Structure 1
Amino acid sequence: MLTLDTFLSRTQTNGLIVLKDGINECEWTDEGMTSDTRHILMSATKSIVGLLCRVLADKQLLDASLPLSHYVPEIAHTAYANATARDLLDMQVEPHLDEVDLSRYSTAVNWNPVPPDATPLGLHDFFRTLPSRTSSNGGPFRYLSANTDLLGWVIERATDRSFADCLSSHLWAAMGAEKSAFVTLDCQGSPRTAGGLCATLHDFAHVGQLLIDAQTHTRSIVPRTWIDDVMKNGDADAWADGEFAQAFRRWKMRYHSGWYIIDAAPQILFALGIHGQHLFVDIEHRMVIAKLSSHAVALDVSAIELTLRSVAEFRRIAIADSRGRGVGIDVSICIYLWRQGRTWYPDVK
């Protein structure tokens, strides 16, 4: 049987928090984490950018249906010219980047030391110097981090503000974040909006709570229409034909606005970043599970699968318990059982 402590160890967890109705029901951190630690969210950043885009659209500051070149004319000659923010948000753009392009992109994000013989390159330089190619938009799911980094430039142009200022005023400060967040920058000061956001465990969980609050609060930060859109839309065929379908073959899934959606009852949304960053949101049962980790392997499929199956089983037990007793989910009881290894099916090993 898999106990909570074993699960945390096997998935190299740095911090875990469970919220029910906005109340902290369970929190665990390893010795390296404190309430002030800003842990990198990796590609879970993309999901937060997706939220920000909808907030901006609701305020008529961004039109996701316009060609990207409307906001960034510098890319009018590239394969991205006729793609839209919607295409980027749904990962349905294929700009046909070759190995040279991807190598230049890796240099541009500024996460690795620039080789001595290489010329420093920023993200804006990378996008504006892409060769002219015909792109495929609206097709199969094609996961490409460059899409969301380009979206960061679009946000800055659409709002005439830095990404950090925009995120702060429209989302972070507005939700009452406990701590400031950080974002990594390229050599020219442009933000890494595909994966560079760093936040505390509590504030990461609060992002998930925003989605739940949008269902019940008339003055929520995230528009309720965004929740309805994500829960109902997204191209299931694009996902099925896309590059992640095989890895996630156990689940009926979609991807929309930077979020993964598992449609098996009960439905759940989640953000995902390499090295084990997860944010799960069960809107129907008002539960949030945030997990920050340090997987040794960037894309550890077995650890991701174990996390997804474990979260699904935890929710199943919680929901079954609540139905049997005619009350809301008693998360504290489920946490206790989880610690004892008494909530799992035998195949969760």
Structure 2
Amino acid sequence: MPGPTRRAALSLAATTLAAPALAQGRFPDRPVRLIIPWPPGGSADAQLRSLAELAGRTLGQPVVAENRAGASGTLGAQFLTTQARPDGYALAQMHLSVIRRPFLVRNPPWDPVQDFTHIIGLTGWLFGIVVKADGPIKSWADYIAYAKAHPGRLTYATSGIATTNHLTMEELSAKEGVELTHVPYRASNEAAVSVASGEVMSVADSSAWAPLVDSGALRLICVWTAERSPRFPQAPTLKELGHDMVGTSPYGIAGPKGMDPGVVRSLHEAFKAALFDSANAAVRAQFDMPLEYYDPEAYRDFVARRAAYERTMAERLNLRID
């Protein structure tokens, strides 16, 4: 039987070469998973679920939010680095605990820069320092004056050791040359209540204290955002107080390392549109969450800078969790 003509052979070859591309189709052709490494109901959960719903409309496929709480919020990162394929269908929240963890343990589970594909920076939280409203401290100047006059007696509560708020307070106390006493709590709202009851003198944390400030039980003496908070415009920023510092614990979205740049671009554009949508802006406003947008390159650069900072602070404070 005669073999195929040259034209037929070329046609067959072209069909064969085109088959993988046709099989791949456009991205996405099925739902995308977004792992939220916290229990349902918190501010990050609400913001990311809103983002997922909005991004799914742009992508033409659902973005399915999946809660995987535990391990200090690192189960999403564990999944990306050990199980997920770099095809764009498995994503997770990238937050500072993921960046920080390698510098707190003897056997680092990942490199926060090299072992992920950084897709977009999103938002953070409103942090600040609050004191009892009817106490002797009325301002940041009073806070530092008290600390200098009573070394080690000014206590501050946070949501735990090696958290963003703890590290920021360590940096601030070093810059001001004062000795403060750290009192870690398990929950931010418990810490705020403890200040109102007089158990500790101040709390440095995200805005779980806001209702008590609104009620007049607590006084906000500074915020850590780049600009003054629209909700609490009377409180100065750290920059206004002489410290070139911003502390919002920003987070974003990442995927496994090695993702296709075209897929990254598609995901980034969908999540960016969702972030700037009025519906997501309303969720952020509800929880006093400042905008911290980064494109993929800028977000990777942010993670690299933050990883260097986290390494330095872990070494300086001799922080270990294992």
Give the shorter-chain TM-score range. under 0.3
TM-score by length of 2: 0.27
Hey, which of these two has a bigger chunk of helix by percent? 2
TM-score by length of 1: 0.25
